[in-house]
Structure 1
Amino acid sequence: MEMFLKWIEEKFMPPMAKLSEQRHLRAIRDGVISTLSLIIVGSFFLIIAQPPVKAWADAIAPNVGKIMVPYRLTMGLMSLYAAYGMGYSLAKSYKLDGVSGGVLSLAAFLLATIPVNADAFITAATKAGVKGGAPMGWVLPMANLGGAGMFVAIITMIFAVETLRLLKKYNVTLKMPEQVPESVSRSFEALIPAAVIITVVWFIRVWLNFDIQTAIMNLFKPLVNVAGNSLGGVLVPVIFITVLWSAGIHGMSVIGSIVRPVWLVLLDANTAAVSAHQALPNIAPEPFFQWFIWIGGAGATLSLALLMCFSKSEYLKRVGRFSIIPGIFNINEPLIFGTPLVMNPILAIPFILGPVVSAIIAYAATAAGLVAKVSIIAPWTLPAPIGAMLATGGDWRAAVLVCINIAVVTVIYYPFFKAYEKKMIKEEQQEVEVA
């Protein structure tokens, strides 16, 4: 282990540390971190709205819609807030006006989502005999404004700020007299860049009807056709989901939405087999991934949260301690965007490797009959050992398997975590010296 840590420190860390300081990657990291307070608060409302105990869930069922409002307007709009934060950070790195960079990035991101006339749907429902609601006018679909839209937010942010930079570099801006207030002057300086950015994004999204989200789906569709009831079918979605998350793309939204129909068919077959008192045919329906692989969330980050709780870096320690409770309930956005794991070349390797190894262990144990196959969809906010027991019909060995995977993934994360911790401690010491 000491030799491995030395190799990481001397050979692996220098190029990865240099890559992590790249201007655009740093802007993405800082912008995403700026949403951390909203993500943390929103995640707790999600736990309250979907408690793991059925009696509690039944008691609050009439008010779930109200309880979920803060979640939908915080975590549900994560990419919206991040678009501004990333644009602000990148603009400041170029010594441009941060507010202008943030606003232009936000506008470009919103233009990538086409509003929908809700009244048309209400009218159609009324004609079909369904009681219509009150007129709503034009509404903005929220599906791609949360974590699923992060990749679009990154692309539009880079385009917006780089356009602002180039136009200012070549003096294609409106200059105001010195006596004009600075806030007014900034607005006019951003006028021409805003016109260019809005026109280009509008033309691509509306007139060319090019949907980045759909393009991503189509790109990865052939790659997940092999997903199914085999080790390869387990590993393919695991690898692509974690790789996409590492790049700032909501992996489950991209890959999960495509392979989920396959998972549901596998689960239905297992459920039917249980009802008929027959042997379960399938190893890897969706609950298999939920309880044996995504322990604590994508990337099996509960292990990382445990390590961070005892970190020597003050920042990592704090992030770990306020992420550990959501992580127990399989909500890891605070950790993913607080560490951050997005665009983090150092922690990307265990983020991908950990779930791969745990998937192999879980598949082998299930195929060998050491653990019962899953046949039940348990509430996803349950702690993993409990959820695994319920999903396998009460098999206590499933809880043991979860604990084994947590331990194995912790060992995988450890050397990379220590390398990243050392980097963070150095940065913290430099900030203290400057102060």
Structure 2
Amino acid sequence: MERLMLWLDEKFSTPMAKLSEQRHLRAVRDGIVGTLPIITVGSFFLIIAFPPVPADTALALWAKAHGATILLPYRLTMYMMSLYAAWGIGHSLAKSYDLDGVSGAQLAVVAFLMTMVPRAVDGLGWALPMANLGGSGMFVAIMTSILAVEIMRFVYKSNFKISMPEQVPPSVARSFKALTPTAIVVVLMTFITFVFGFDWHGVVTKIMAPLVTTSDTLFGVLVPVGLITVFWSAGIHGASVVGSLARPIWTVLLDANAKAVADGLPLPHIAPEPFYQWFIWIGGAGSTIGLVLLMAFASKSVYSRSLGRMALAPGLFNINEPLIFGAPIVLNPILIIPFILTPIVLAIISYIAMAFHLVARPFIMAPWTLPGPIGAFVATGGDWRAIVLSVVCILIAMIIYYPFFKIYDNKQLALEKEDH
């Protein structure tokens, strides 16, 4: 175990930390994370349109009568998440190259919109296929945003741009400077999409379909769960590394579930991001709420009890860095085992419960700082069974952590006695 910890520290931590800061992955992560407030607020209108109350109540009847209007904020926010993500990705990537963030964001949006073919609609003029603006267009948004900013970087680096005298206001000079890369992006996308007829969304969807499908299987859930906890065990922010790659897929799954609710259809997916947040990462990565409760209320060691009580309040709101680095869990051969094992067990139990429709599947992006059972209730649109599952998961986490907690607590107690 000591050799394993040494290998994790020396051979694993450094390259993974570098990977998490790779500029393109960081731009994707920043762009998608930046859409979370929009997704969160927009998804709450689904609860208003489909309140978790009996169908014959006044509230349910009112929501049914006004459903189309209630859903408009959802359709202009969460339903268009890829458009907002393109802006964020372009801005973040441009800033990483010390380029103008606004120009990069605008180019990214232009490139993404030019993957769509407007259709003439009688009486309405021209319309864009809005479905491609949502989660289903996320992979295309990532590709075209990176392409647009890389074209801008190449143009600026080669000095193939229009420069204005110093007397010209910065905002005007910036506009002229962006003319050349904008022209290249627009002309290039025009040829690819409209002249050659390349179906960006159809092709990318077919390529990514196996990955999206696999991500919604039990195996596809256990892989990121295992990787995130292993990364954290080595002191790396696991969600930053894995989330950069997995979050685009999670948003596709969440968008599909939200669309199904809006259309009155069964929810197709189990494992969008709220599934991990509310049924696996209860209390934070490693499902450490179980360990926090044990340390706070069952410790004999003064240090363990003090740390547990200090970490209890943050842990209830899914912040567990005080515990991860205070115990520590990082590179700790005793606590790493349950830290990795507990989320895997909770993932299996929760996945089976939703696969057999014992608990509703999540379709709401609830604020991640809500206490676990409350967040689970909100994320599933008000399913009381989600609260029960969350509480069961907390109890299971305590059971798994208990024997390792006792070893840790006894070791701390022995050290305290030696000091006295």
TM-score range with shorter-chain normalisation?
Answer: 0.5 to 0.7
Q: Does 1:219 align with 2:218?
A: no
Q: Which runs of 5 or more structure 1 residues have no equivalent in the other structure? A: 120-134, 262-284, 325-351, 414-435
Which residue of the partner structure matches residue 235 of structure 1?
218
Q: Residue 79 of structure 1 aligns to a residue in which SS?
A: helix
Q: Residue 284 of structure 2 aligns to a residue in which SS?
A: helix
> What pairs with 1:29-428 in structure 2 (closer than 5 Å)?
29-54=29-54, 55=57, 56-119=59-122, 135-220=123-208, 234-235=217-218, 238=221, 246-251=245-250, 253=252, 290=270, 297-304=274-281, 306-307=283-284, 321=317, 358=346, 360-361=348-349, 373-374=356-357, 403-405=391-393
Which residue of the partner structure matches residue 297 of structure 2?
none
> How far apart, in 1, do the equivalents of 2:341 and 2:116 lie?
34
For the structure 1 residues 70 and 409, does the alpha-carbon distance in structure 2 shift closer, same or farther, using more than 3 Å as the test?
Answer: farther
Per-residue CA deviations over 1:233-274 (Å, capped at 9, x if unaligned) read 9536657999898444335747997xxx9xxxxxxxxxxxxx
Question: How far apart are 1:179 and its partner, in Å?
Answer: 2.1
Q: Which runs of 5 or more structure 2 residues have no equivalent in the other structure? A: 226-241, 261-265, 293-306, 308-312, 320-339, 365-373, 402-420
For the structure 1 residues 354 and 183, does the alpha-carbon distance in structure 2 shift closer, same or farther, using more than 3 Å as the test?
Answer: farther
Question: How far apart are 1:147 and its partner, in Å?
Answer: 2.6
> How far apart, in 1, do the equivalents of 2:249 and 2:193 lie?
21
> How far apart, in 2, do the equivalents of 1:373 and 1:201 lie?
45
**Amino acid paired to 2:218:** L
> How far apart, in 2, do the equivalents of 1:410 and 1:103 lie?
49
Which residue of the partner structure matches residue 410 of structure 2?
none
Quick check: 2:30–2:89 contact (8 Å CA) kept in 1? yes
Per-residue CA deviations over 1:18-41 (Å, capped at 9, x if unaligned) read 111111222222333333432332
TM-align CA RMSD: 5.1
User: Which moved further from structure 2: 159-168 or 298-307?
Assistant: 298-307
Query: Alignment length, in residue pairs?
Result: 324
Question: How far apart are 1:101 and its partner, in Å?
Answer: 0.9
Quick check: 1:237–1:255 contact (8 Å CA) kept in 2? no
Question: How far apart are 1:374 and its partner, in Å?
Answer: 4.0
Quick check: 2:79–2:255 contact (8 Å CA) kept in 1? no
Normalising by structure 2, report the TM-score.
0.60
Quick check: 1:300–1:354 contact (8 Å CA) kept in 2? no
> How far apart, in 1, do the equivalents of 2:6 and 2:66 lie?
54
Question: How far apart are 1:178 and its partner, in Å?
Answer: 2.2
Quick check: 2:25–2:245 contact (8 Å CA) kept in 1? no
Q: Residue 130 of structure 2 aligns to a residue in which SS?
A: coil
Question: How far apart are 1:411 and its partner, in Å?
Answer: 10
Q: Residue 172 of structure 2 aligns to a residue in which SS?
A: helix
Per-residue CA deviations over 1:332-367 (Å, capped at 9, x if unaligned) read xxxxxxxxxxxxxxxxxxxx998875564468x78x
> How far apart, in 2, do the equivalents of 1:407 and 1:30 lie?
34
Per-residue CA deviations over 1:35-87 (Å, capped at 9, x if unaligned) read 34323322333332222223343332212222222222222222212212221
Question: How far apart are 1:8 and its partner, in Å?
Answer: 5.5
Percentage of matched positions with identical amino acids: 44
> How far apart, in 1, do the equivalents of 2:150 and 2:40 lie?
31
Q: Residue 27 of structure 2 aligns to a residue in which SS?
A: helix
Q: Residue 249 of structure 1 aligns to a residue in which SS?
A: helix
Q: Residue 210 of structure 1 aligns to a residue in which SS?
A: coil
